[in-house]
Chain A
Amino acid sequence: AQSVTQLGSHVSVSEGALVLLRCNYSSSVPPYLFWYVQYPNQGLQLLLKYTSAATLVKGINGFEAEFKKSETSFHLTKPSAHMSDAAEYFCAVIDGGSNYKLTFGKGTLLTVNP
């Protein structure tokens, strides 16, 4: 069965610092992996996705994530945080094959301090 664990429900960084949000997944088949961002009172917006092509995936707003099969990880990074990055971030997985069910992690709230 597919599942996602996000380490750290709250991460706080200074503006300009590295952002690292951790995600580990469990999947019985090669997975599809996603990162979504949610701003207050908004829906979820796709940041990036992994679909078995390049293991380093670049997304919007300067974010990227690296798929590491040996570690079953898909951590999200950004070299330099902006105030506008403050939001909640969700990692999600879909088992490959014919499955379309997104399973989400519990989310990580990112705070950016000036």
Chain B
Amino acid sequence: DAGVIQSPRHEVTEMGQEVTLRCKPISGHDYLFWYRQTMMRGLELLIYFNNNVPIDDSGMPEDRFSAKMPNASFSTLKIQPSEPRDSAVYFCASSLVDREAFFGQGTRLTVV
């Protein structure tokens, strides 16, 4: 398997624009996670899905953030409108019931 695939790897956008981050989990994994990494706050869980259903979105910062998982092989994280404080590395991860999470390479988002 190619592992968890995220796109794009880098995104630079202007404040106020909509940003969409994409993730393809490992085939057969039941759980999908979105994390954000910043120098100040470290690694934070934003939301996770089980069998395409959102289970816990308590880490989503505010209504500007939304995540969807329309099928078992695809998920998106959308920020609308984007703000400079959203600049971070966003990771997608997937796992089986054993809780062993496999991470993608991340998307480095810069909002100017």
Contact B105 A43 (CB under 8 A): yes
Contact B48 A101 (CB under 8 A): yes
Contact B48 A43 (CB under 8 A): no
- Over the window 68-105 of chain A, the binary record of Cβ atoms lying under 8 Å from chain B Cβ atoms (1 yes, 0 no) is 00000000000000000000001000100000111111
Contact A94 B91 (CB under 8 A): no
B105 to chain A, nearest CB (A): 5
Contact B99 A43 (CB under 8 A): no
- Bound together, the chains give a CA A36 to CA B45 distance in angstroms of 15
Contact A44 B105 (CB under 8 A): no
A113 at the binding interface (Cβ < 8 Å):
no
Contact B101 A46 (CB under 8 A): yes
- Bound together, the chains give a CA A5 to CA B11 distance in angstroms of 32
B50 at the binding interface (Cβ < 8 Å):
yes
By a CB distance below 8 angstroms, the chain B residues around A105 are 42
Known: A100-B95, A104-B42, A104-B43. A45 touches B103 (CB 8 A): yes
A-B contact pairs, 14 of them (CB 8 A): A42-B105, A43-B106, A44-B93, A90-B43, A94-B99, A100-B31, A100-B33, A100-B48, A101-B45, A102-B33, A102-B45, A104-B43, A106-B42, A107-B43
Across the A-B interface, the 7 shortest Cβ-Cβ residue pairs:
A43-B103, A104-B43, A44-B103, A43-B105, A106-B42, A43-B104, A101-B45
Query: Which residues of A approach B to under 8 Å, CB–CB?
Result: 32, 34, 36, 42-46, 49, 51, 90, 94, 100-107
Other A-B pairs beyond A36-B103, A51-B98, 20, CB < 8 Å: A34-B100, A42-B105, A42-B106, A43-B104, A44-B91, A45-B103, A49-B100, A100-B33, A100-B48, A100-B55, A100-B95, A100-B99, A101-B48, A101-B56, A102-B33, A102-B99, A102-B101, A103-B45, A105-B42, A107-B43
